[in-house]
Amino acid sequence: MTVSATIDHLKNLKNKILSYTEVDEDLLNHWLGYYKRIDVKKGDTLISPGQMVEHFYYVAKGCIYYYKLEEGEQKVLEFYTEDIFFTDLPAYVKETPSDYYLKASENTVVYAILKTDGENSFKKSHQLERFGRLSMQEAFMKIFTRVERLSNRTNEERYLRLLEKRPDLLQRVPQYLIASYLGLTPVGLSKIRKRISISQ
């Protein structure tokens, strides 16, 4: 059961990589060989502040949220769900201790590749280097839309936009994390929800 799930996960990961650029079959299989599976239980933490971040991750199943504690407050930056790559990129790139948490909001399966294995492969293979560039570009685009959303729009519009774009999130993640993601208090979000429900 777990093994057949793993096979499925790796097949998805393979397709994900191929969606960026062509990679020769053996090279890709060799790359996949570096990944190790990590099961993260609901509420468990993958990375905490002070830790070094040595892996790049892929979510096969579940949801990891990325947040920081700011004067005791959770500030959620992003939610990572099925079929996406993530890590704490600042700590990963600079090789300094993390300032963030990466925590599972539900039972989650991720696959992790060591930075050293990844970088060595990039150095050896142009195809993999290209995959690296294009996936980094995608990460940029994703965070860019976040900046756009944050700097434009009202809180209400941003909430409605989130409802539309990622309706699953509001089912699977507690509302106070959504509030934090939108830069609000739970009370503030509740007021917005009320305002919306009245005006319809």
Partner DNA sequence: TTATTTTATTAAACTGGTTTAATAAGTTTC
Partner DNA sequence: GAAACTTATTAAACCAGTTTAATAAAATAA
Positions that interact with DNA (CB under 7 A): 154-156, 174-176, 183-195
| Stretch near a second copy under the rule CB under 8 A, chosen from 4-12, 42-50, 53-61, 70-78 | 70-78
- Choose between 166 and 193: whose C-beta lies nearer to DNA: 193
By CB under 8 A, is residue 162 in contact with a second copy? no
Please compute, for residue 100, the number of CA atoms within 13 A of its CA located in the half-sphere on the CB side.
20
The phi, psi pair for 104, rounded to 5°, reads -85, 130
**Which listed option, a second copy, DNA, none, makes contact with residue 162 (CB within 5 to 8 Å by class)?**
none
Binding mask of the shown chain, residues 120 to 149, with x at each position contacting a second copy by CB under 8 A: --x---x--xx-xx--xx-xxx-xx-xxx-
Q: Which is nearer to a second copy, 21 or 51 (CB)?
A: 21
Q: With b meaning 16 or more CB within 10 Å and e meaning fewer, what string describes 99-117?
A: ebbbbbbeebbbbbbebeb
Among a second copy, DNA, none, the one that 174 touches (CB under a kind-dependent 5 to 8 A) is DNA
Q: Determine the Cα–Cα distance for residues 8 and 100; give it in Å rounded to an integer.
A: 30
**Residue 57 to residues 80, 83, 89, 167: CA-CA distances in angstroms?**
10, 10, 11, 24
**Is residue 83 near a second copy by the rule CB under 8 A?**
no
DSSP state of 99: S
Choose among 59, 101, 94: nearest CA to 77: 101
**Partner whose binding site includes residue 97, from a second copy, DNA, none (CB under 5 to 8 Å by kind):** none
Task: For residues 141 and 159, give the distance between their C-alpha atoms in angstroms, rounded to a whole number.
Answer: 20
- Which residues are at the interface with a second copy (CB under 8 A)? 68, 70, 75, 77, 89-90, 93, 122, 126, 129-130, 132-133, 136-137, 139-141, 143-144, 146-148, 150-152, 183
